[in-house]
Structure 1
Amino acid sequence: MDATTYKGTNKMLTGIVFSVITFWLFAQAMVNVVPAVQSDLGVSAGTLNIAISLTALFSGIFIVAAGGLADQIGRKKMTFIGLVLSIIGSLCLVFATGAFLLIVGRIIQGLSAASIMPATIALVKAYFEGAERQRALSYWSIGSWGGSGVCSFAGGAIATYLGWKWIFIFSIIFALLAMLLIKDVPESKGEKSKTKFDVSGLIVFIITMVALNIFITQGADLGWTSLLTLTLLVVAIAGIILFIKIEKGKAGALIEFDLFKNRAYTGATVSNFFLNAVAGTLVVANTYVQVGRGFTAFQSGILSLGYLVAVLGMIRVGEKILQKIGAKKPMVWGTVLTIIGVGIMGLTFLPGIFYTIVVFLGFALFGVGLGMYATPSTDTAVTNAPDDKIGAASGIYKMASSLGGAFGVAISATAYATISAVSNVSLGASAGIVVNVIFAVVALLSIIFLIPNKTGTKEEANQ
């Protein structure tokens, strides 16, 4: 089939959505089956927490490299590689009897997500145009945002009635279906690059991100002023400085900083990082209502039903608003609603039923805001990236999602645990949620000051 005449189909789009949910729906469900996994495999809570965080971390670390590689070897091929890795990672978890296969499987699932996310966005850019592209990106967003919203219910139901390993059996089935649905899609590539792969940049980036992640997640246990914690901080700071220095102006750089000369792309990517960091709210709020208010896990899940319904319902609404008035206003409105929704969940001094109602409304507003923001932001990033670098640009954009979520959860949970230890869980929850309000405010400022009022052309966006 000729790539120059091929137009995206619903069959192709379904395959792309199935590819995306192998991570967002199934791999993410691990967060909600912790007791079952710990009991079944006999691993410590610390080991399990590390295994859970590794997927998002490795996804974030390798997603840019995978996006650039997709431009070179083919976006369809990279999607297939990601699906194969998803199957292998899921099999590791299905056959796990202890910590080793659990950790290996989670790392492979992270590499799978890194391969699939930028490659599938690039396929949408290649084979859909105009309103059809915006529609396709909406469904892509439903697969990611919606998948992450429904994973707690789907994962919990599967684990309760079939056993937690069945989550990953279903993931394998969906990966195979995705392969079948996109097998007839012609290959899409960027221009051949004559530069070598940026190995040195990737190594520095890995060391920096791992050091920063360990510093955030383990700092409290190790002691914030211990030699090891301070060493990790120094390594992270030095790594960031060194990475920027060796990457700037480098041919074939892991992160092409020239992409950030485009204000619209920069605004979409920065705001995407900080709004994904607001995912820490989910952890803090759900933990608090169980520990501080005596809710069961099922009851706390019910509280977030409004989030799931709202985010799924608003994604297409955000697309329609984008088509009528452009990207900036729905991105601003969505972020403001997110700030309000998250902020009211911090009112932990409210008694009984009043706080329960406030949390339910907060989750619903959170979902409305993110749903309204999702498609305009993704469309802005994709539209304002050069055609021959769309894989790399998409990789950076989705790296912002993964690392934003990973570090947002880590920082929020650390704030919650630290304040709770010296005061009480109510104040700790408020502190953890205030951190997320700050993230959302930074996202709003990046949209206001970086996204042009009109983002219809690259020329306008650069003005």
Structure 2
Amino acid sequence: MEQPTGHPRRWQILGVMVFSLLAIVLDNTILNVALKVISDPVAGLGATQSQLEWAINSYTLVFAGLLFTFGVLGDRFGRKRMLQIGMVLFGLASLASAYSTDPTQLIFARAAMGLGGAAVMPATLAIISNVFAPEERGKAIGIWAGGVGLAIAIGPITGGLLLEHFWWGSVFLINVPVVIISSILIATLVPESRNPDKAQLDPIGVLLSIIGLVGVVYGIIKGGELGTVLDFEVWGPGLAGIAVLAAFVWHERRTAHPAFDVRYFAIPRFSTAVASVGLIFFAMMGVMFFLAFYLQIVKGYSPLQAGALVLPFAAAQLIFSPLSVQMVRRFGGKVVATVSLLVVAAALASYTFLQVDTPIWIFEIIGFVQGAGMANINPPATEAVMSSLPREKAGVGSAMTNTVRQLGGALGVAILGSLLSATYRENIAASLSVVPENLRHAAGESITATMGTAQALGPQGASLIAPAKQAFMDGMHLTALCGAGVALIGAAVVARWLPGKHAGQAPVTLPESKEPAVV
């Protein structure tokens, strides 16, 4: 039954949800500034480039593959319970990551962190949707999205400070106090909620969703690692995953107790919002991938300085995310999301004007504009998804949004990252004549490898530095243009199919089907 004013402690509960989410988002932003240290054989674990990628991707693989499943389980067995389980798993896995003794242990510990994160993320948004009435839900989701911006802001700076004073494992150990405090707050403040419909579970659908999503994400990750889509290790798992997801859709349309009623994709508000989230994270994550290298290698900033330089992006999200609900109320979600996607596209295209010697304040302005655009895309899109579904399906709706976000981001990093790598390798090849022939292939794989080779060669390698930076900039410009193009596609999708300001916001009643589905 709808609560006219929501839960009496709803704003305190929102604070707990945002704080709980901090550990999940904080960890990924911290890790970005720690990669260079972890690769050091003395100060870190001596991880190779491939091992570093899998330290990131093992988390993504498990996280994206199980988000939907944990959303279903939370709706069925209790969102508070699933949130508590997820926080404990995340805390224990963070401890294991901090005290890993080799890269393989770190990769598996990060996968375990993904397991905990997959339980936490959909539960936070589902609980918010449950405790807030529809008229306040948009504002609450805007604040929730602002919490993500806060974590983005403090993550790199926190990581830089920790690395200046402690060993690399401290970037994972910082999660533990956050987990402990949030677990206490969850136990004392957050009410339990679940889907009141005690219909049977759909184990076949859940299993198909896990296998399909893991297959697709693995193929995406492998494509980014190998730099090609032609290898069987890329297209084999990817096509198998797509086939299994097709079987999942077929099964869900015919079972009487679906894990997720796929007919919701026939609702323009739902499907368009989900698509826009996937497209914008494809563009943003694919482009943001190169910014850490630009700041630390091309511009020569320390991890702490690089962390501080992303503050404008995060500050813009903190400022504008809570205000997005007012923008949507005044102009409508369609106009706000379309204009915001165009702003993000313009910001991404602006990265093509950056050069090796460009003043850093220009980068700061672009970052602020990009953050402002992002702040007005996520809240209305998330609200459109959540308002399309009955309250009892909030966990599944949240999981669907976050799954598409992760898939879009992983695909963006894999495809646009591969484009950047291929462009770099092509442009740096002519400058590698000073490198011994048996080392040229490895030296030209990335700007990090080239700079390492230049340092090892001493004065002879100095001639590699300028060409390496320029080759990276050329690849960065092409990647930025492609990201901007994807954001423009997102704007066109939203402008065409997202309902306008005066469209109804109540959950849509689905038509009856020959094989009735419980919704």
TM-score (norm 1): 0.90
Q: Which moved more, 1:152-161 or 1:129-138?
A: 129-138
8 Å CA contact retained: 1:208, 1:236? yes
Task: Encode CA deviations 1:233-273: one digit per residue, 9 max, x unaligned.
Answer: 54455445444444443444455312212111111111111
Q: What pairs up with 1:169-188 in 2 under 5 angstroms?
A: 169-184=173-188, 185-188=190-193
**Aligned-residue offset at 1:143:** 2.2
SS in 2 for 1:279: helix
Given candidates 291, 296, 308, the residue that maps to 2:314 is: 308
| Distance change (3 Å), C-alpha of 1:383 and 1:267 | same
The whole-number CA distance in structure 1 between the counterparts of 2:186 and 2:242 is 42
| Distance change (3 Å), C-alpha of 1:225 and 1:280 | closer
* 2:461 equivalent to 1:457: no
TM-score (norm 2): 0.81
- State, as a whole percentage, how many aligned pairs show the same letter: 21
Given candidates 260, 267, 270, the residue that maps to 2:272 is: 267
SS in 2 for 1:346: helix
**Aligned-residue offset at 1:133:** 2.5
* 2:170 equivalent to 1:166: yes
Given candidates 278, 285, 289, the residue that maps to 1:283 is: 289
What amino acid maps onto 1:209 in structure 2?
A: V
* 2:438 equivalent to 1:399: no
Task: Encode CA deviations 1:324-364: one digit per residue, 9 max, x unaligned.
Answer: 3332222112111101111111234x57236x444322211
**Aligned-residue offset at 1:367:** 0.3
Q: Which moved more, 1:321-330 or 1:387-396?
A: 321-330
Q: What pairs up with 1:116-131 in 2 under 5 angstroms?
A: 116-131=120-135
The whole-number CA distance in structure 1 between the counterparts of 2:137 and 2:120 is 18
Q: What pairs up with 1:251-266 in 2 under 5 angstroms?
A: 251-266=256-271
* 2:332 equivalent to 1:326: yes
The match for 2:199 is 193
Q: Which moved more, 1:156-165 or 1:306-315?
A: 156-165
The whole-number CA distance in structure 1 between the counterparts of 2:152 and 2:500 is 30
Given candidates 189, 211, 224, the residue that maps to 1:217 is: 224
| Distance change (3 Å), C-alpha of 1:8 and 1:280 | farther
| Distance change (3 Å), C-alpha of 1:289 and 1:119 | closer
The match for 2:83 is 79
Task: Encode CA deviations 1:120-162: one digit per residue, 9 max, x unaligned.
Answer: 1111111112453233212211222331343222222222223
8 Å CA contact retained: 2:32, 2:292? no
The whole-number CA distance in structure 1 between the counterparts of 2:10 and 2:151 is 21
Task: Encode CA deviations 1:13-32: one digit per residue, 9 max, x unaligned.
Answer: 22111211111012442122
What amino acid maps onto 1:326 in structure 2?
A: G
| Distance change (3 Å), C-alpha of 1:457 and 1:28 | same
Q: Which moved more, 1:125-134 or 1:309-318?
A: 125-134
Task: Encode CA deviations 1:13-68: one digit per residue, 9 max, x unaligned.
Answer: 22111211111012442122012223322333321210111212211111011001
The match for 2:14 is 13
* 2:400 equivalent to 1:352: no
Task: Encode CA deviations 1:407-462: one digit per residue, 9 max, x unaligned.
Answer: 21222211100111112323211121122112212221221122100354237899
What amino acid maps onto 1:325 in structure 2?
A: F
8 Å CA contact retained: 2:252, 2:259? yes
Given candidates 132, 153, 157, the residue that maps to 1:153 is: 157
8 Å CA contact retained: 1:131, 1:323? no
* 2:68 equivalent to 1:64: yes
The match for 2:209 is 202
The whole-number CA distance in structure 2 between the counterparts of 1:214 and 1:325 is 39
The gaps in structure 2 that reach 5 residues or longer are 428-470, 512-519
| Distance change (3 Å), C-alpha of 1:238 and 1:253 | same
Task: Encode CA deviations 1:196-234: one digit per residue, 9 max, x unaligned.
Answer: 3235413531452244224422232xx654454554454
8 Å CA contact retained: 2:212, 2:242? no
What amino acid maps onto 2:286 in structure 1?
A: G
Task: Encode CA deviations 1:161-215: one digit per residue, 9 max, x unaligned.
Answer: 2333233332111111112112132210102221332354135314522442244
Cα RMSD, aligned residues only: 2.7
The whole-number CA distance in structure 2 between the counterparts of 1:232 and 1:65 is 20
Greater Rg over alpha carbons, structure: 2
The whole-number CA distance in structure 2 between the counterparts of 1:164 and 1:416 is 28
Q: Which moved more, 1:41-50 or 1:72-81?
A: 41-50
The gaps in structure 1 that reach 5 residues or longer are none
8 Å CA contact retained: 1:269, 1:381? yes
The whole-number CA distance in structure 2 between the counterparts of 1:144 and 1:22 is 10
* 2:415 equivalent to 1:385: no
8 Å CA contact retained: 1:290, 1:297? yes
